[in-house]
Amino acid sequence: MSTQRAGRYAPSPSGDLHIGNLRTALLAWLFARTTGRRFLIRMEDLDRAVPGSDSRQLSDLAALGIDWDPPVVHQTDRLATYRSVIDDLRVVGRTFECFCTRREILEAPSAPHAPQGAYPGTCRDLTSAERDERRATRPPAIRLRADIEVFGVDDLVHGTYSGAVDDFVLQRNDGTPAYNLVVVVDDAAQGVDQVVRGDDLLSSAPRQAYLATLLGSSPPAYAHVPMVLNANGIRLSKRDGAVTLADLAADGVATSTVLSRIAHSLGLGGRDEPVTLPLLAGRFDPVALPTEPWFLTADEWS
């Protein structure tokens, strides 16, 4: 485990980064570099990876001026580590097998005030015979046996945030380690004590911080930053047209212009002001960051 403080950016290499991804990456870099931290890149490639996407993503980050401390870690290289952690939790009675489908969980009665989709505990106390019967028809997922219902985290943007903690999945029924596990294991291993990411992930922070404490780690400092939305108020995606550096370049929009507009959206520069990352770092003040999403429309590039 590294003892050097670090921030990180952890994209999924499933395609090119869009403006929302790049804006979050820039913020993660600014938070890390202005606090004397290393800045790491980790490829979250357990679910779906498109060949070549990781190298294109790194090229796009570099084109904006974002640098990072090597090596770039790929989660697919760390499967043995994740499974070892799950085994350790199993040995101390912290896991159980779950045979529920997503639909069964959504349709099951849940505890009062529990958020929709929270795990209702269906398989928590199955007998050995019941597990054997279910295992014959469906491979199990592995869930954490949580002993709390709510956990609080401190967020640099949202303040103190308390969220639900249920018996969340550690390993899916296809054998793939789950996001809520691997992100905690990786952050601890890499010395990541600052996590900057989109505020759509704020609700997952209590689960991850709780798991970190179970594994003997201190939860990181969180900063869940506002998203980039399209004109309809929906999270920006590649379906929204020219939203990657390559697409914008094909439309005649220079990367320097993209950086200027991202900086402007963060209150760090004029709309068409030429900027560099060292300049933005000198202006960066987390307290002054906008707290509302950036609505990106086609006329942004005109």
The reply to whether 143 sits in an annotated binding site is: no
Cβ burial 242-255 (10 Å sphere, 16+ → b, else e): bbbbeebeeeebee
The reply to whether 162 sits in an annotated binding site is: no
Alpha helices by DSSP H, 108-204: 128-135, 179-190
171 close to 142: Cβ distance less than 8 angstroms: yes
Residue type, 252: G
Q: What phi and psi, each to the nearest 5 degrees, are found at residue 93?
A: 80, 20
The reply to whether 8 sits in an annotated binding site is: yes
The reply to whether 44 sits in an annotated binding site is: yes
41 close to 8: Cβ distance less than 8 angstroms: yes
The reply to whether 238 sits in an annotated binding site is: yes
The reply to whether 161 sits in an annotated binding site is: no
Helix, strand, coil % in the chain, rounded to nearest 5? 40, 20, 40
The reply to whether 292 sits in an annotated binding site is: no
CA distances to 106, 163, 199, 226 from 209, in Å: 24, 11, 16, 20
Q: How far is it, in rounded angstroms, from Cα 83 to Cα 291?
A: 38
The reply to whether 100 sits in an annotated binding site is: yes
- Specify binding-site residues for L-glutamate: 8-12, 44, 179, 197
- Specify binding-site residues for ATP: 238
- Specify binding-site residues for Zn(2+): 98, 100, 119, 123
- Specify binding-site residues: 8-12, 44, 98, 100, 119, 123, 179, 197, 238
